[in-house]
Amino acid sequence: MDYLTLLQVLDSTVRLATPLLLACLAGLFSERAGIFDIGLEGKMLLAAFFSAAVAYVTGSVWLGLLAGIASSMVLAGLHGLASITFRGNQLISGVAINFLAAGMTVLIAQDWFKQGGRTPSLIGGARFEPITLPLAETLQPVPVIGPLYHDLISGHTVLVYIAFLCVPATWWLLYRTRFGLRLRAVGENPAAVDTAGVSVVGLRYAAVAICGILCGIAGAYLATALQAGFVKDMTAGRGYIALAALIFAKWRPWYALSATLLFGLLQAVALRYQNIDLGGVVIPVQVMDALPYILTVVILAGFVGKAIPPRAGGEPYVKER
């Protein structure tokens, strides 16, 4: 593999890891506050549809992004209502959201656009365009550094840069602010937080809302940046892969970046190298495509060691009288 081919694979890794990273950080906020969220997949899917639909109708990708975030936050609100207010089973609520989004997106898309559950292709201002960073063209002829800057760092859409900036922002918010301290405490010992006079319900709803925003951006990225429109079930299990990456990362932001880049690399390799010949044994393309999902199963089976979730995770908080 030559240097330019390596850069192309890494460039694809960054693009494919972006929705996983956003969804992983979304789950991190929610689960750090004690709310398990299986519904990342559903929120991303609904956001992908509404962002593509609104972007197509209005011709503005930014309005599409806002629509995607709003739709994701509606599902996040439903999950919060079921899990926090009514103290329902968080896992069942998340699964219900996934089924709801899978059915609703196809039904509405068919009713609106009559294209078999998909939206028309997005063009022009209805899509996020790549951004060329300063001096990218000037530095391109420079050996090693030039292609690295031009081909790998530059040339991505704004949502990619937002996603990677979210990692240090999440670290700072969780570990350097009063809000982050309280959020983590709610996931570990909500009774102690309540005793200190801080609203457990309010903090958990805030975490669920942040989760909805990040899932909305992830879904919008899929439909308006990575691809040019919405198709049925386009999230393709990315919400579940993000959950596996979150466990792999042990609920820490910087580890989440590494884990999602690993999954993105596997997807990039599967797309670029198909039917690989290893000493006369040809690995079918289906095996390469299944690599990210195989790694998901391996991680969830405990291959990387025991990951300890927040102690109050999945448990509704009942205020003592």
Question: 301 in a domain, yes or no?
Answer: no
pLDDT bracket for residue 97 (50, 70, 90): very high
| Average pLDDT rounded to a whole number, residues 149-162 | 94
* Residue 16 CB neighbours (<10 A): 22
Q: Domain total for the chain? A: 1
Q: What is the pLDDT of residues 207-217, one digit of tens each?
A: 999 999 999 99
Q: What value does the mean pLDDT of the chain take?
A: 91
Question: 315 in a domain, yes or no?
Answer: no
Question: 308 in a domain, yes or no?
Answer: no
Amino acid at 12: S
Q: Do 148 and 7 touch, CB atoms closer than 8 A?
A: yes
The more confident residue out of 277 and 200 is 200
Question: 310 in a domain, yes or no?
Answer: no
pLDDT bracket for residue 302 (50, 70, 90): low
Is the pTM for the entire model greater than 0.85?
Answer: yes
Number of H helices, E strands in the chain: 13, 2
What's 60's DSSP letter? -
Sign of the CA dihedral with 269 first, then 270, 272, and 275 last: positive
| Average pLDDT rounded to a whole number, residues 162-167 | 97
Give the side-chain half-sphere CA count within 13 A for 5: 5
Picking from 225, 185, 229, the residue whose alpha carbon sits closest to that of residue 207 is: 185
Picking from 120, 87, 81, 100, the residue whose alpha carbon sits closest to that of residue 43 is: 100
Question: 60 in a domain, yes or no?
Answer: yes
Q: Do 79 and 39 touch, CB atoms closer than 8 A?
A: yes
Both structure tokens of 244: 């596996």
Question: 263 in a domain, yes or no?
Answer: no
Question: 203 in a domain, yes or no?
Answer: yes
What's 284's DSSP letter? P
The more confident residue out of 187 and 302 is 187
What's 120's DSSP letter? P
Question: 106 in a domain, yes or no?
Answer: yes
The answer to whether residue 25 scores a pLDDT higher than 90 is: yes
| Average pLDDT rounded to a whole number, residues 44-50 | 97
Enclosing domain of residue 20: 3-132+144-239
* Residue recorded with tokens 């509704």: 316
pLDDT bracket for residue 304 (50, 70, 90): low
pLDDT bracket for residue 180 (50, 70, 90): very high
pLDDT given for residue 17 in this prediction: 96
